[in-house]
């Protein structure tokens, strides 16, 4: 990407992280320049609007709309569309081959902690009784998911591997099976978790009360949310998991 690009590092970080999550770049035939799109369920309105607020420099006056349910869900959808700009076209050419997204180290290396936070909040989840993680990269080809795993390990020290979405499934996802690697990733992104409804995405669950208290305190300190708010989400998460285990 050109060093003279006027695209701010923050906007570039949001776009690159979103390409591994719920964002896309599109270059329509009748336009000279590309646009950036984000699409979320209206249940994630707070998070969606936070991301839109970070994209002001590439946004028009009416940059997002609410769409009717598409048949797959009863929830309405929120769609953001940027202006068509040369700077976004540069990113499109860097990250795409023809019309298709291609994951390559040369642009993964441009990602920042904010990019990782966007990627995780879009498509990451804590699983395994609160101590393991998964990133739902189903739409990305297997060999490109391997590139992401190598990048996470080499650049951020987060060990991850590609595995089947579920037993017998042809789709693959990125799995973080080490509690220490998951904690390392969460510590990188915690300062960028600025939406309260995203707190469950970073809440590790411990049986040991002292360990749980330390993590709650760390999350509160890094995110800026009151500790009582963090504890409320922890208790809700524990209650939800207990209910699931009884089914």
What average pLDDT does the segment 228-235 reach?
A: 97
pLDDT of 4 reads 43
Structural domain spans, the chain: 9-100, 114-246
The rounded percent of the chain whose pLDDT value lies above 70 is 95
- pLDDT exceeds 80 at position 132: yes
Residue 65: predicted pLDDT: 94
pLDDT at 247: 46
- pLDDT given at position 240: 83
Identical topology for domains 9-100 and 114-246 = yes
Mean pLDDT of 81-102: 96
The arithmetic mean of pLDDT across residues 174-185, rounded, is 96
In whole numbers, what is the pLDDT of the chain averaged over residues? 92
| pLDDT higher than threshold 80 for residue 70 | no
- What is the CATH superfamily name and number for domain 114-246? Homing endonucleases (3.10.28.10)
pLDDT of 72: 66
pLDDT above 90 coverage of the chain, percent: 82
Q: What is the mean pLDDT of residues 119-127?
A: 96
Give the residue-averaged pLDDT of 63-75. Answer: 80
What confidence score (pLDDT) does residue 1 get?
Answer: 53
Contact status, residue 25 vs residue 85, Cβ threshold 8 Å: no
Higher pLDDT, 246 or 20: 20
Tell me, what's the pLDDT at 30? Answer: 82
DSSP string, the chain: --TT----HHHHHHHHHHHTTTEEEE--TT-SSBEEEEEEEGGGHHHHHHHHHHTGGG--SS-EEEEPP-SS-SS-EEEEE---BHHHHHHHHHHEETTEE---HHHHTT--HHHHHHHHHHHEEEETTTTEEEE--TTS-HHHHHHHHHHHHHHH----EEEESSTT-S-EEEEE--HHHHHHHHHHHGGG---GGGGGGG----SSHHHHHHHHHHHHHHH---HHHHHHHHHHHHHHHHHHHH-
Question: Residue 3: what pLDDT?
Answer: 46
Q: Vertex 178, ends 177 and 180: CA angle to 5°?
A: 150
Looking at domain 9-100, its CATH superfamily turns out to be Homing endonucleases (3.10.28.10)
Are the C-beta atoms of residues 215 and 206 closer than 8 Å to each other?
yes
């Amino acid at each position: 990407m050109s060093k003279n690009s006027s695209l701010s590092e923050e906007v570039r970080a949001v776009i690159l992280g979103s390409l591994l999550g719920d964002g896309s770049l599109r270059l329509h035939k009748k336009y000279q320049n590309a646009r950036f799109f984000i699409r979320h369920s209206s249940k994630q309105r707070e998070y969606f609007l936070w991301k839109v607020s970070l994209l002001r420099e590439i946004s028009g006056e009416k940059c997002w709309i609410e769409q009717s349910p598409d048949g797959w869900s009863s929830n309405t959808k929120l769609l953001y569309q940027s202006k068509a700009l040369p700077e976004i076209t540069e990113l499109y050419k860097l990250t795409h081959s023809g019309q298709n997204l291609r994951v390559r180290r040369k642009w993964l290396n441009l990602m920042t902690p904010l990019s990782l936070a966007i990627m995780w909040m879009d498509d990451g989840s804590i699983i395994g009784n609160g101590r393991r993680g998964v990133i739902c990269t189903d739409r990305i080809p297997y060999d490109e998911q391997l590139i992401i795993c190598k990048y996470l390990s080499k650049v951020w020290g987060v060990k991850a591997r590609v595995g089947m979405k579920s037993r017998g499934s042809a789709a693959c996802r990125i799995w973080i099976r080490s509690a220490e690697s998951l904690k390392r990733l969460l510590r990188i992104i915690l300062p960028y978790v600025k939406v309260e409804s995203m707190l469950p995405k970073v809440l590790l669950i411990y049986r040991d009360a002292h360990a749980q208290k330390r993590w709650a305190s760390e999350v509160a300190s890094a995110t800026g949310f009151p500790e009582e708010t963090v504890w409320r989400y922890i208790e809700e998460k524990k209650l939800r998991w207990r209910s699931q285990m009884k089914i």
